[in-house]
Structure 1
Amino acid sequence: MFTKLRSLAGRLAFLRNRYAFAAVIVIAAGVLRHALNPLLGETEPFLFLALPVAVMAIRFGLAGAVVTGVMAALAGSLLVLGSSEPIIHPLYGAAHLLSFSGVCAGMGFLAWQVRAERGRNALQAEELASAMRQVQERDAQLRHADLQKEAAEQQKNEFISMLGHELRNPLAGMSTAADLLPFVRENERRHAQTTDVIARQVRHMTKLVDDILDVSRISRGMITVSKRPMDFVVAINEAVEQACSVISERQHRLTLQLPDAPVWVEGDQTRLVQVVANLLANSAKYTPEGGDIVVRLDVCNGEVGLSVQDNGMGINAELLPFIFDSFVQAKRTADRSQGGLGLGLAIVKSIVTLHGGRASAYSDGLGRGSVFAIHLPSAADHGQRAVPQQAPAPQAAQRRASGGLELLVVDDNEDAARGLSLLLSSQGHQVTTLFNPRRALERARVQAFDAMILDIGMPEMDGYALAKHIRAMGRHADTTLIALTGYGTEDDIRQAREAGFDHHFTKPVDAARLAMTLQQIPAMRSGHAAKAAAA
């Protein structure tokens, strides 16, 4: 109620001010007309007072013009008739009053139309201004899109250029080593050095390809993590083992400040090892030789915090906000003496985010070192560290003594198949090598194998279909099937499991891991021998 009264009082005050203004301009017009009486005489006293009507019509509309017209009529009648006579008594005065009323009505209407037209023009002007703003905003968006397109094109070209640089370096090393091998067969030391170069460059190229594929999966939202309780200290130690070669090569001093007790998190151990290894490799590459790298692990307020600090080249303040973006290093580094494609930190941030954590970086500037930190949610204490891997079962020793496993290798890439067969044969296994999946299926019907290593992408029949056919045979229900493929996503691994594979390896194969996997396979021949002895 009080609000309504205040609104009514405000409205009345507005009307009072409006018509007080009308009275003032009518009086001013009358005074001016009276002052001009020596020049104008008795002619047209009313017409001069029509001006206030027009002003009020333009300013306040038709209602203001009507009220002002009445005021002007009263004022004009006093000028013509005098105060002691009736307003419409003489015919002459009545005629003037009527003519004045008509003129006021016409001028008021015309002025009201002018005001309405001004309002329409103002509305059109506002609509035009709004349209112009939209055009300008759209133009700005298009210019921004063009700039983004140009930046993306430049980034793509720089990436392709650096990818070629990064691939040619290991290819050059491998090519030279391959050319050198025939000449160093008799020199055991040089032969070992040459093969070590090839192995090292293959690992480098594998890391490059894995990083590129990881970024591609991340950008498409296809990367997943399999989280389970794990001791983060174990993951850090494993990452240190992976990064020790680059740290040793550059003669850095590595300091580990880790708790003695386990630090539990819910995480994917493989991915978290990758995160820590990328941070260590980054610090090692961007710290001059003989630098210091400190790894610190703390638990505070329900979070596990890992920091990797170095005294290296530091980070420019302009670059720091974008340090976890893909290809940033490839774009910003001029001489590329440190190598890499600028993908490692982007992978770090993405994996940490998938674990519900966050990644950050800090630097006082160029030449002042840097600190990279990740924070993960802490998990409940599970009371013990991860169970160490057990020694091979007695069957493994018996198998090695009896000459290894019966293996079948199937791959349509003949060079890859022959190379893997030579590697397995050198480890004491009996290897059958085939390049056609249908011939492999025919051989599996008549021969038993301890394990089969099958490529996935083959013509006529892929590895998934071949594995399903082999599993359907009764004699191979317990045969170990190993998928060896260039497809390495989580979906590929799941599909391999569904097809009947026991293990999944991504090309190029990790020879040490494959050898360890084969050591865990019970030897079929040993089992047959045991049954024969019992009989």
Structure 2
Amino acid sequence: MAHPRAASIRASGPDAPLPGIMKSQASEAPREGTEPMRHNAFDRYASAVLFAGGALLVKLLLAPLLEEPGPFLLFLGAVAAAAWRGGVGPGLLAAALAAVASHVFFLAPLASPADESLRLGLFVLESVTVAVLAGLGNRPPRPALDPERDRMEAGLRSAAAEMRAVLDSALDAVVGMSAEGAITFWNPRAETIFGWSAAEALGRDLAELILPPTDRENHRRGLQRFLGTGNWPILGQRIEARGLRRDRSHFPLEMSVTARREAGSWAFTAFMADITERKRAEERLRHQLAFTSAITGHLGEGVFAVDRDGRLTFANPAAERMLGFPESELRGRPLGELLQRRAGSEPTPDDLLGRVLAAGTTVHLDGDALLKADGSTLPVAHTCSPIVTGSEVVGAVLVFHDVTERKQMEERRQQLLVREQGAREEAENANRMKDEFLAMLSHELRTPLSAIAGWAHILREGGLEPGEAARAIEVIDRNARVQGQLISDILDVSRIISGKLRLEKKPVTAAAVVEAALDTVRPSAEAKKVRLEATLDPGAGHVLADPDRLQQVVWNLLSNAIKFTPEQGLVSVRLARQGRQVEIVVRDSGDGISPEFLPYVFERFRQADSSTSRPHGGLGLGLAIVRHLVEAHGGTVVADSAGKGQGSTFTVRLSRHSVTGEHAARTAAPAAEAAPVPSLDRLRVLVVDDDPDTRGMMETVLSQRGAHVTAAASAAEALACVEKETPDVLLSDIGMPGMDGYALIRELRERPQARDIPAAALTAYAHADDRGQAIAAGYQRHVAKPVEPAELVAVVASLAGRA
């Protein structure tokens, strides 16, 4: 059923009334028989100003008391009064003044300038219409061909046409509504949005036509509240609501509503926009943002977004976690405060970002760092890419990841490389030193061998004078001892390296050890014409030491000093007590030690001069053995020299050891006389050795002492000899082809007639482990080759019980 007012507002098309002027068109008509007041022009226009000013004054006074949403009602009265009194011209002046005053003082702010302009335009149109109608209505009838009236009427029609053109071409739907809720205006855009033509919509209830059923009651309550109280919150606001199309589909719309008074009643105009596409775009954007947020939130890499000013606008959780900053502290912060380029890197962070923003190119960098919340830095590799909207670069995104582990691996790799290079250099040096050592060893071994072989050949030829023969024997003996010492040094170094050097410590008198070493080296010093001086403190006391090894230390130091001291030089040794230590100082006036070589003087195989033209022989092992033996005794040894040609000083310090008086007297007392040479008369001795020279030497030495010697070249031959006759003593080599010395003694210990034969292992296997193995196999003694004839006789006598 049509609305009650439908009969008066059914018009549509170009003749349909415009919202806001329909009531004026229906109620205003010229009044016949009324004579207009005629005044001069000044009075007529002055009265127009007064009418407009009076209306403004009244509205200003009543504004605090009224809640009228429309500012135009009193001004329309002023326009009508000015036109009625003065005609069309003063009415138009009053309309212009009212429009300016309304815009400045009363016009309610709308959500957009377009709404404000439209509302003001409607008022101007209404004012012009009122002014024209009032002015013309108060004038006597004029001839039909009155040019002035024709122009005014044409202007009015033109203004109305322009306003309709504006409304018809508006992008928003413009819908008029009466106080009863009926549609009074419906522009073409409304037809497009809602699907109803103007003819179908005009006069229909707005809520029923274009609002969903669930929203209609709210609309009606709001309208009634406004009519009763003048308060409707949606007026003058841009709000979002739901619309209903002709096909009953719902869609989102955005609208603003204005209210005005017309002929004592309220009228409303709504501006509506279909925001379906915008909502879809917003939804797509929300989905995209959620998708992007999910991706960046689960990324292991940190992500920054920066604007064109280089300030952070976004940081993902990984960035917060890696740097320790919450996003609130990162947002708005300049990237240049966080990104630290490598020292000397170009460009700077600001230049880098500027290059990305200006050129729109992606930059990949490594080796930079980001500042962390605790003040430390995080090494990162990062990619900086532009953010492009259309053709404009609006910012940049920085994706970075922690390269701490990679940097540490690189550092470790570099350290390993340095160590590898160092190890390679050490290995090369070791190989070089090994080659030099082998060359020296060959030289040091061949030199005495040459003397031994030469003089032995001369002796074999015969024809030497007794004095020359004695000299030949002395040379052979001396060079044999030199070779023995070389071999001993090499074996000692081998034991030191393998950790198998054993010390048999006991309390010994320090002075006695030094004196024994002096006696050993004195012939060498005299032969070289080097003075040997000794200052020994008898009260120096005792040390807990292996006497043989401690004597070896002092002998090595003295031999070294004599070797490097020229003729008429001086070598001195001083023994003194220094607090709770015993100090042994060996000083010489010889070649000295250069400052460059001094730190390496105790290293194995090191010699200040290892060239083939060096003036002194040796393997460079003596001082290394000294240091190890001293340290094995819990002492220290240091070397000092003022330089080449300034001599050298070696100082050994050992802890003193307290002993009882009886033991002190026993260890300090020298032997009263030399022990007599034991007799081996009628002893049966079995000698087993695969080397015929060694076997022959032992047979000769023992025979000269009265022993009856049987010689065997192998273990099998020895077993056969024992079967024929049980010897009193057995001397056997260890390393022999077929059955070795260990197997031989074990076999003999299994035979009843040979189970108790005293036996000694005479072998070149001279390590402590070799001694233990020999004893465990069944030997009573272990003697290392080479062996002195006197020692050989003493061993046999000891085994036979004649020592």
What is the TM-score of this pair, normalised by structure 2?
0.49
Match of 1:179 in 2: 457
Q: Which residue pairs with 1:384 in the alignment?
A: 665
Take 1:220 and 1:459, find their aligned partners in 2: how far apart are those partners? 27
Matches within 5 A, 1:337-356: 337-356=615-634
Question: Do residues 229 (structure 1) and 507 (structure 2) align?
Answer: yes
Structural mapping, 1:31-50, within 5 Å? none
State the 1:424 CA deviation: 2.5
The higher relative CO (CA closer than 8 Å, separation ≥ 6) is in 1
AA aligned opposite 1:161: A
The 1:67/1:276 distance shift into structure 2, 3 A limit, reads: closer
CA contact (8 A) 1:330 1:341 kept: no
Query: Any residues of structure 2 matched to 1:344-423 within 5 Å, and which?
Result: 344-382=622-660, 383-386=664-667, 388=670, 399=679, 403=681, 405-423=683-701
Deviation at 1:128, TM superposition (A): 5.1
Counterparts of 1:457 and 1:251 in 2: how far apart (Å)? 44
Does 2:443 align with 1:148? no
Q: Which runs of 5 or more structure 2 residues have no equivalent in the other structure? A: 1-112, 114-305, 316-324, 334-388
Aligned to 1:63: 328
Partner AA of 1:408 in structure 2: L
Kindly tell me: are residues 300 and 55 of structure 1, through their superposed partners in 2, closer, same or farther at Cα, counting changes over 3 Å? Answer: same
**Alignment of structure 1 residues 282-293 onto 2, 5 Å:** 282-293=560-571
Identify the residue that residue 426 of structure 1 maps to in structure 2: 704
Distance 1:393 1:145 in 2: 55
Higher mean Cα deviation, 466-475 or 506-515? 466-475
Q: CA deviation at 1:173?
A: 0.4
Shift of 1:319: 0.7
What amino acid is aligned across from residue 692 of structure 2 in structure 1? Answer: E
Shift of the 513–390 alpha-carbon distance from structure 1 to 2, 3 Å rule, reads farther
SS in 2 for 1:384: helix
Question: Counterpart of 2:665 in 1: which secondary structure?
Answer: coil
Alpha carbons of structure 1 residues 343 and 111: separation in structure 2 relative to 1, 3 Å: farther
Indicate conservation of the 8 Å contact 1:392/1:519, yes or no.
no
CA distance in 1: counterparts of 2:533 and 2:314, whole angstroms: 85
Shift of 1:480: 3.7
Cα deviation 1:461-483 (Å, max 9, x = unaligned): 32233334445556666654222
Aligned pair partner of 1:304 in 556, 560, 582: 582
Distance in 2 of aligned mates of 1:482 and 1:303? 41
Stretch moving more, 385-394 or 247-256: 385-394
Q: How does 1:505-520 map to 2 (within 5 A)?
A: 505-520=783-798
Q: Residue 330 of structure 1: CA displacement?
A: 6.8
TM-score, normalised to structure 1's length? 0.72
The equivalent position to 2:722 in structure 1, one of 441, 444, 448, is 444
Determine the structure 2 residue equivalent to 1:193.
471
**Partner residue of 2:437 out of 140, 148, 159:** 159
For 2:330 and 2:603, the matched residues in 1 are separated by: 69
Question: Quick one: which of 498, 516, 529 aligns to 1:251?
Answer: 529
Distance (Å, rounded) in 2 between the aligned partners of 1:189 and 1:389: 33
Look up the equivalent residue of 1:365 and give its one-letter code. G
* Bigger share in helix: 1
Partner in structure 2 of residue 453 of structure 1: 731
- For 1:335 and 1:222, the matched residues in 2 are separated by 35
- The CA distance in 2 between the partners of 1:144 and 1:207, in whole Å, is 35
- Secondary structure of the corresponding residue to residue 328 of structure 1: coil
Amino acid at match of 1:63: S
Q: CA deviation at 1:139?
A: 2.5
CA distance in 1, matches of 2:634, 2:468: 49
Query: How many angstroms does 1:404 deviate by?
Result: 5.7
The yes-or-no answer on 1:281 pairing with 2:559 is yes
- Equivalent position SS for 2:657: coil
Tell me the distance in 2 between the aligned counterparts of 1:384 and 1:472: 47
**Are residues 194 and 389 of structure 1, via their aligned partners in 2, closer, same or farther at CA, if it must alter by over 3 Å?**
same
CA pair 440-343 structure 1, distance change in 2 beyond 3 A: same
Give CA deviations for 1:434-485 in whole Å, capped at 9, x if unaligned: 1121222232344343422211112333223333444555666665422210
Q: Is the 8 A contact 1:264 1:378 kept in 2?
A: yes
Residues 185 and 448 of structure 1: is their aligned pair in 2 closer, same or farther, counting only changes over 3 Å? farther
Q: AA paired with 1:337?
A: P
**Residues 373 and 480 of structure 1: is their aligned pair in 2 closer, same or farther, counting only changes over 3 Å?**
farther
- Report the Cα offset of residue 486 of structure 1: 0.4
Q: Are 1:138 and 2:419 counterparts?
A: no
Q: Could you tell me which residue of structure 2 aligns to residue 98 of structure 1?
A: none
> Structure 1 residues 288 and 221 mapped into 2: Cα distance closer, same or farther (>3 Å)?
same
Which residue of 2 is the match for residue 503 of structure 1? 781
| Structure 1: runs of 5+ lacking an equivalent | 1-41, 43-49, 69-105, 527-535
Q: Relative to total residues, which structure has the larger strand share, 1 or 2?
A: 2
**Between 365-374 and 509-518, the greater mean CA deviation after superposition:** 509-518
- Residue 377 (structure 1) shift: 1.9
Q: Distance in 1 between matches of 2:674 and 2:509?
A: 24
Tell me the distance in 2 between the aligned counterparts of 1:501 and 1:376: 37
Distance 2:684 2:464 in 1: 32
Is the contact between residue 307 and residue 394 of structure 2 (CA under 8 Å) also seen in structure 1? Answer: no
Stretch moving more, 328-337 or 485-494 = 328-337
Structure 1 position 259, deviation (Å): 2.2
Contact 1:224 1:354 in 2 (8 A): no
8 Å contact from structure 2 (residues 311, 331) kept in 1: no
Pair 1:464 & 2:739 matched: no
Q: Is the 8 A contact 1:228 1:267 kept in 2?
A: yes
Could you tell me how far apart the structure 1 residues matched to 2:483 and 2:713 are?
Answer: 26
Q: Find the counterpart in structure 1 of residue 293 from structure 2.
A: none
Superposition RMSD on alpha carbons, in Å? 3.3
Secondary structure, aligned partner of 1:298: strand
Shift of 1:223: 1.3
Residues 28-53 of structure 1, C-alpha deviations (whole Å, 9 max, x = no match): xxxxxxxxxxxxxx9xxxxxxx9799
Q: Matches of 1:512 and 1:425 in 2, distance apart?
A: 13
Identity of aligned residues (%): 34
Provide the secondary structure at the position in 2 that maps to 1:378: strand
1:416–1:61 CA distance, 2 compared to 1 (3 A): same
Measure, in 2, the Cα distance between the counterparts of 1:518 and 1:185.
36
The question of whether the paired residues in 2 share the 8 Å contact of 1:57 and 1:111 is answered with no
Residues 392-432 of structure 1: CA deviation (Å, up to 9, x unaligned):
899x76x46xx463322110112221122123223433221
Q: Quick one: structure 1 residues 231 and 65, their matched pair in 2 at CA, closer, same or farther if it must change by over 3 Å?
A: closer
Which residue matches 2:492? 214
**1:6-58 C-alpha deviation (Å, 9 max, x unpaired):** xxxxxxxxxxxxxxxxxxxxxxxxxxxxxxxxxxxx9xxxxxxx979972547
2 CA distance for matches of 1:302 and 1:220?
32
Q: 1:367 to 1:176 in 2, by over 3 A?
A: same
Distance 1:163 1:393 in 2: 37
- The worse-fitting range, judged by mean Cα deviation, of 465-474 and 276-285 is 465-474
Cα distance per residue 1:75-108 (max 9 Å; x no partner): xxxxxxxxxxxxxxxxxxxxxxxxxxxxxxx9xx
- Measured in 1, the distance between the counterparts of 2:753 and 2:670 equals 34
Residue type at the aligned position of 1:224: R
